[in-house]
C-alpha cells in the first residue's frame, strides 16, 4: 500500500474517526469560551498524531478492501473533498469563536454532506447500494 493510500484509508479507522469527532467538538467548545491556543492545539495535534501512528504502524489493507473503503475511494477520496471538509471544520470553529450555534451547525452539515454525498447522488456508471 502506498503512502497516499495509507493517508486515505487511515481516515476511516475507528480510532481516527473518534479522535476527529471528539477533538473537533471539544475545540468548538473551547473556542466558545475563547481559549484559542488550547482549542487550536486540541483541534489539530491529537488528530495528526493518530494519523501518523496509523500510517506508520497499522495494516490498513482491511479498510481498503471493506465496503466503507470502497465508498471512500469512490465518493470522498479527492483533494477537493478534503478541502471542502476542512472548510466546513473552519466554519464550525468560527461559529464557536463568535458564539453562533447555527454557524457551527452549518459547518458540521458541510462535513456531513461530504461524507454522505455518495449515498445521496449516484455517480455515472455506478449502482446505488443501500
pLDDT digits (tens, 9 = 90+) for 95-128: 999 999 999 999 999 999 999 888 887 665 655 5
Average pLDDT over residues 55-69: 91
Is position 129 within any domain? no
Q: CA 40, CA 2: separation in Å to the nearest integer?
A: 30
Is position 126 within any domain? no
In this structure, of 22-31, 70-79, 104-113, the range with the lowest mean pLDDT score is 70-79
Average pLDDT over residues 41-58: 96
Between 12 and 38, residue with greater pLDDT: 38
Is position 96 within any domain? yes
Q: Which of 80, 93, 88, 79 is nearest to 109 (CA)?
A: 88
Average pLDDT over residues 43-72: 93
pTM as predicted: 0.86
Is position 128 within any domain? no
Between 34 and 125, residue with greater pLDDT: 34
DSSP, collapsed to helix, strand or coil, labels residue 117 as: helix
Is position 125 within any domain? no
Give the domain range for residue 23. 3-120
Percent of the chain predicted with pLDDT > 90: 66
Is position 18 within any domain? yes
Is position 130 within any domain? no
Is position 81 within any domain? yes
Number of domains in the chain: 1
Average pLDDT over residues 32-48: 97
Say what the pLDDT of residue 128 is.
53
Average pLDDT over residues 35-55: 97
Amino acid at each position: 500500500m502506498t503512502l497516499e493510500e495509507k493517508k486515505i484509508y487511515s481516515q476511516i479507522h475507528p480510532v481516527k474517526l473518534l479522535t476527529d469527532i471528539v477533538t473537533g467538538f471539544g475545540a468548538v467548545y473551547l473556542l466558545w469560551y475563547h481559549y484559542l491556543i488550547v482549542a487550536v492545539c486540541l483541534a489539530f495535534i491529537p488528530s495528526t498524531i493518530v494519523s501518523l501512528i496509523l500510517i506508520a504502524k497499522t495494516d490498513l489493507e482491511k479498510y481498503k478492501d471493506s465496503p466503507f473503503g470502497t465508498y471512500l475511494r469512490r465518493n470522498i477520496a479527492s483533494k477537493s473533498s478534503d478541502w471542502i471538509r476542512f472548510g466546513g471544520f473552519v466554519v464550525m470553529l468560527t461559529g464557536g469563536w463568535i458564539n453562533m450555534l447555527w454557524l457551527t451547525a452549518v459547518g458540521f452539515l458541510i462535513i456531513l454532506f461530504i461524507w454522505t454525498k455518495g449515498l445521496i447522488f449516484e455517480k455515472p456508471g455506478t449502482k446505488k447500494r443501500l
